[in-house]
Amino acid sequence: MARNFLRISSLRILLLQLSLFIISASGLIIFACNSPEKVKRLRFLALTDTHIAADSDLARWRDFLYTIRDREIEFVVVLGDLVGHAPEFIEPVKEIAERIGPPVYFLPGNHDDNYTRNTEWWTSVFGSPYYRFEYGGYHFIMNWSQDKDGPLGWLQAVLDSIPQGVPIVFCQHYPPQSSGAPDSGSWPILESRSEEVVVALSGHIHRRTSETVGSILSETLDNCSMDTTKDGHFYEITLKAEELVRIEEFSLSELKTVSSPDNPPIVSLVDTSGYFVIDQPLTLTGTAQDDNAVALVQWRIDYGRWSDAQGTEHWQLRLDPADLSPGHHMLWARARDNTGQASAGFERAILYLPEEGPQPGTVRLSQGLAGYTPCRDVTVRAHAPEVRAEGSDLECWIHGEAGSEEFSEFYIAFNLSPINTGRKVKEVRLILFCSRQNSVSPADGDDLYRVGVVGGPWSEDMNFNERPHLPGWYPAKKAAKARLEDEWPVPSGMQEIRPEVPLTLDLTEFAAEVEKWIKEPGSNHGWVISPLFDEYNISFRSSEYKIPTMRPRLEIVFQR
């Protein structure tokens, strides 16, 4: 059922109270004016935090726009976080909106510009992250709020250019509590025209709130995730002159979506392994199909320029290792049909150009490489203490005070019995391939982890309740200081990191233990790596990951 909310400032209530009647039934609240013939009316949809980060999310976005095209609305406003730190989807989100449904006005969120650190993600597709437009006598101000020092001069100039008495709708991604209200940022500037500001709309916090900032009505909308496994909400907003605001909330999962009859093209590689070692020139082949005709297929490496493949329905491309740096790369492919419509997502594959082998005196161990197999690892979760997470990514997660909402740590051990040397250990390095992160901070000292020696035997199928008693780090801030505490390096600007990138942990602090484990294999219970800071999550590929060159590596450097 739609839930309808209507807000009027106390001053306007006093002015209208003699001519106002209220009808309340089934959760519907309606405010009517004494002179309806003079009331301007505008209806539009607003949604926020769609977090598109997968092909299926993009398909749902496409179906959503096609489904709402027949609603009695003028346009759609999206209040930021179009994507989930997946900038490759910004362009297709825009392209789909331009082809399907009513006009869509977008704003960037922190996921779309990496907390202002990568504004080019946005500007390369949309241009300016802030702008204005007029519709039906209303002035919409689309403000950029991730930078609190923001475009304040621009905002002031826009307000100065709007005639007195013209209604204003103010939109930005961050809600008041995240953007300096009421004493800083855009809010003091906006307050000077508060009589004309019908409503301020925002998102970001993934919940519905309503408040007054100074004398400005602020409505923060719940998220509208396009993830097919999640729900969210979108809103139909009706404006009647500057006095009235009606907001109707609808569940996305209850919307009966239909698909456009003109399907987007489909592109795929013939070899579906998704992983190619490029140690010599290699030709990859693929297919593409469309309900009309395929016009072209394009490909790129990482986030470089798109190039045209040879052929259409049957296509190929040639890769030369001389064009790549050692390590992992992502191959992307897409198709366009004869109307210019792009495929709803991408074909992807990981490319690996072999790196140099270990230096003399260094032993490198990684599951499945060079005949090495005995590595084991597992994640345990305090917020799901009975769940067994064997085979999943290795998680170092924490959220909430002392991990009250999320706390994950991981255990890892390498069998060192293949090492046959009596030399002293000089260095120990653990290389992990980062696949995900959250709450990335550029500041020092707040993305912390700790490493300790596991105090007893454990198995890969254990859960949090079954983990060894020592070191027993939980809750986060009450544990004794670890022998090794450090800060995670920021591996990338994205939340979902593709291709995964290696992070190196210096574990030389445990050189003596490694020497003992080589001599006494039964004493080797490995390490546990746990979070310290209350808002940072990071994940790595495990020893069972399908791509062998992205599994954990242990490098031991011996004194010569």
Encode pLDDT of 294-312 as tens digits. 999 999 999 899 999 999 9
Strand 327-337, strand 216-220: pairing: unpaired
Domain boundary among 353, 375, 404: 353
| Residue 215 clears pLDDT 70, i.e. is over it | yes
Mean pLDDT, residues 422-435 taken together: 96
Residue 24 has a pLDDT of 27
Number of domains into which the chain is organized: 3
pTM of the model: 0.84
Cis amide linkage into residue 499, ω under 30° from 0: yes
More confident residue, 505 or 184: 505
* Domain shared by 217 and 110, yes or no: yes
From 258, 254, 200, 266, select the one nearest 224 (Cα to Cα). 254
Round to whole Å and give the CA distance between 134 and 106.
Answer: 14
Confidence of residue 442 (pLDDT cuts 50, 70, 90): low
Distance of CA 478 to the CA centre of its chain: 31
pLDDT tens, position by position, 18-44: 232 222 222 232 333 333 334 378 999
| Residue 2 clears pLDDT 70, i.e. is over it | no
Confidence of residue 241 (pLDDT cuts 50, 70, 90): confident
CA-based end-to-end distance of the chain: 74
Residue 15 lies in a domain: no
More confident residue, 442 or 107: 107
* Domain shared by 62 and 186, yes or no: yes
* Domain shared by 165 and 286, yes or no: no
Residue 13 lies in a domain: no
Residue 172 has a pLDDT of 97
* Domain shared by 293 and 412, yes or no: no
Q: What is the dihedral of CA 542, 544, 547, 551, to 10 degrees?
A: 40
The CATH code of the domain that includes 295 is: 2.60.40.10
Domain boundary among 310, 328, 353: 353
* Domain shared by 291 and 219, yes or no: no
pLDDT tens, position by position, 71-109: 999 999 999 999 988 899 999 999 999 999 899 999 999
pLDDT tens, position by position, 333-352: 999 999 999 998 999 999 99
Residue 379 per-residue DSSP state: E
Mean pLDDT, residues 358-387 taken together: 94
Residue with tokens 């992205």: 550
* Domain shared by 389 and 302, yes or no: no
Residue 6 lies in a domain: no
* Domain shared by 341 and 372, yes or no: no
Residue 83 per-residue DSSP state: B
Residue 18 lies in a domain: no
* Domain shared by 380 and 520, yes or no: yes
Q: Buried b vs exposed e over 464-486: b needs ≥16 C-beta within 10 Å?
A: beebeeebebbebeebeebebee
From 93, 85, 130, select the one nearest 110 (Cα to Cα). 85
Three-state SS for 403?
helix
| Residue 153 clears pLDDT 70, i.e. is over it | yes
Residue 19 lies in a domain: no
Residue 8 lies in a domain: no
Mean pLDDT, residues 203-210 taken together: 96
* Domain shared by 323 and 413, yes or no: no
Residue 500 has a pLDDT of 95
Residue 331 has a pLDDT of 98
* Domain shared by 157 and 209, yes or no: yes
Residue with tokens 């039906």: 136
Three-state SS for 17?
helix
Residue 256 lies in a domain: no
pLDDT tens, position by position, 119-134: 999 999 999 999 999 9
- Token pair, residue 193, equals 């025209």
Residue 477 has a pLDDT of 66
Residue 371 has a pLDDT of 87
Domain with 309 in it: 266-353
Q: What is the residue-averaged pLDDT of the chain?
A: 89
* Domain shared by 244 and 328, yes or no: no
Residue 310 lies in a domain: yes
Domain boundary among 353, 381, 400: 353
The CATH code of the domain that includes 57 is: 3.60.21.10
Residue 550 has a pLDDT of 97
Mean pLDDT, residues 506-531 taken together: 97
Percent of the chain with pLDDT over 70: 90
* Domain shared by 330 and 388, yes or no: no
